[in-house]
Amino acid sequence: MNWLNAVVQGLLLGGLYALLAAGLSLVFGVMRIVNLAHGVLAVVAAYIGMVFVQNFDVSPFLAILVVVPLMALLGFAVQWGLFTPALKRGGLSPLLVAFGLAVVLTQLLQEIFTADTRSIPSGSLASSSFEVTPELFIGVLPMITFVVGVVVIIALQLFLTFSPLGRAMRAASDDSETVSLMGIDNRMVYALATAIAFGTVGLAGIFLGMRTQFSPTFGDAILIFAFQAVIIGGLGSLWGTLLGGLVLGVAQTVGSQINPSYGVLAGHLVFLAVLAIKPSGLIPKAVDR
């Protein structure tokens, strides 16, 4: 029964990974930018949430209402001021700029908050769970996180498929020059895409902060896990990112069951296996770019 528990916990963890990875997938999907700062952004959101909760003594869920719009605004600004100019430069510039941003943000967090680990106080929520069977307990917070993760992925998918802005983003992803011939301002489309992406990673950061201790350098691991979820699932597919997150979560928890120090390594090995055997991922994109 331990294994069933591990798989269930892994799926719940996977929901968090999917939530964390959604923004990375979106930014890459629309602009072909791999945002190396994606991981540290989740941590930034966690810190902002922590400060808000501690100073105003409110529920972390209220903090979400502040953090998500703030992060979205940050995303808009970063895209407009940093990533879009870098895209114009072309070549390695977007990647290098994102890398620089990641380092700057990490060090700023270090400067402001020191390297101590922190978390977002969530009161009784962190420890409450409900019993499914005597051997299987499901934590309330992980459950909520999982549901939020799935909902966000579905919402993003619906947005991309049915909304005019989502359509514009998919068109820009196919051919950015022709999009301007439709009367669409590319810069605006990109900035809104990044705003949405940063918003989702902000949301993810709050849940992350409630669930675990974090420190400025935590962003490294988050970037790696988000990336692994995207690749395992398949580039260009949000459903893939969801599936990839679940697979990664299960791999890590099952690995920890075997040996507590093997958890992350197990995730790495599953990722490498997918890379070796089915590099296009579990749900490959239908249309090749």
Residues near another protein (CB under 8 A): 28, 32-36, 82, 85-86, 89, 92-101, 103-104, 107-108, 110-111, 164, 167-168, 170-171, 173-175, 177-186, 220, 223-224, 227-228, 230-231, 235, 264-265, 268-269, 271-272, 275-276, 279, 286-287, 289
2/259 with CB nearer another protein: 259
CB of 32 to another protein, least distance (A): 7
Bridge partners (DSSP) listed for residue 136: 133
**Looking at beta carbons only, is 18 or 231 nearer to another protein?**
231
Report CA-CA distances (Å) from 106 to 45, 110, 288: 12, 6, 35
| Choice between 1 and 181, CB closer to another protein | 181
Cβ closest to another protein, residue 94 vs residue 199: 94
Written as six digits, the tokens of 211 are 């669930």
Cα separations (Å) of 130 from 3, 136, 139?
A: 18, 9, 6
SS3 285: coil
Residue 100 CB, nearest distance to another protein (Å)?
4
Provide the Cα torsion 208, 37, 147, 32; round to 10°: -170
For the bound state, the minimum distance from the C-beta of residue 175 to another protein, rounded and expressed in Å, comes to 6
C-beta of 210: minimal distance to another protein in Å? 26
Provide, rounded to whole angstroms, the least separation between the CB of residue 68 and another protein.
25
Q: CB of 244: closest distance to another protein in angstroms?
A: 13
Q: What is the CA radius of gyration of the chain?
A: 19
User: What secondary structure letter does DSSP report for 89?
Assistant: H
Q: Which is nearer to another protein, 159 or 220 (CB)?
A: 220
Helical residues (DSSP H) of the chain, grouped into ranges: 2-31, 38-56, 60-78, 84-89, 93-113, 140-162, 164-174, 176-180, 186-211, 218-233, 238-258, 263-277
User: Hey, what amino acid is at 134?
Assistant: P
> What is the spatial distance between Cα 209 and Cα 51, in angstroms, rounded to a whole number?
11
Judged by beta carbon, residue 136 or residue 264, the one nearer another protein is: 264
